[in-house]
Amino acid sequence: MGFKEFIQHLGQKKREKKELARQIEDRVRIEEMIEQKRLSSNERELNRFLKEDREEEIKEALDVMRKTRRDDIAFGHNPLDVKNITNHTDWEVLKERNQFTGKGNMFMGQGASVMRNNPNLLKNNMRLLS
């Protein structure tokens, strides 16, 4: 089976599914139409009002759920309530005193530097910082 036949086969399955779904929808629509014709006009009107009320209740409940979800996303996570790792930890390393406070910079005050006046760094006779 070549690539073209494979693609056509995929499209054929999709078309078959669409056709089956359309047939089922048609059958359901016809059954509902027959049921509506069997009802009296008063029953049809009552069912229509009940359906409208039910749809309104669903809409209101959905609005409440959307507002709750939106508020939860916007305000549910408060970073001030999260444990601070430096203050509330079981790790002893974070509770120790800083070992480097009060000590100078070990690189300051040294006259010699690896980069300064080293003829081997650049072979093109250019000097680095002097």
- Are 53 and 67 part of one and the same domain? yes
Q: How many domains does the chain have?
A: 2
- Range of 72's domain? 41-76
Closest listed residue to residue 128, CA positions, set 111, 120, 110: 120
Range 124-129, long-range pairs (CB < 8 A, 24+ positions): none
Q: What are the pLDDT tens digits along the chain (130 aa)? A: 677 887 778 788 889 999 999 999 999 999 999 999 999 999 999 999 999 999 999 999 999 999 999 988 887 766 666 666 555 666 666 667 888 887 777 767 666 666 666 666 665 555 554 4
Does residue 123 belong to any structural domain of this protein? no
Same domain for 53 and 68, yes or no, is: yes
Q: What element of type H or E holds 89?
A: none
Number of other CB atoms surrounding residue 71 within 10 Å: 10
Residue located via tokens 């006009």: 41
Give the global pTM.
0.45
Establish if 96 belongs to a structural domain: no
Residue 108 belongs to a domain: no
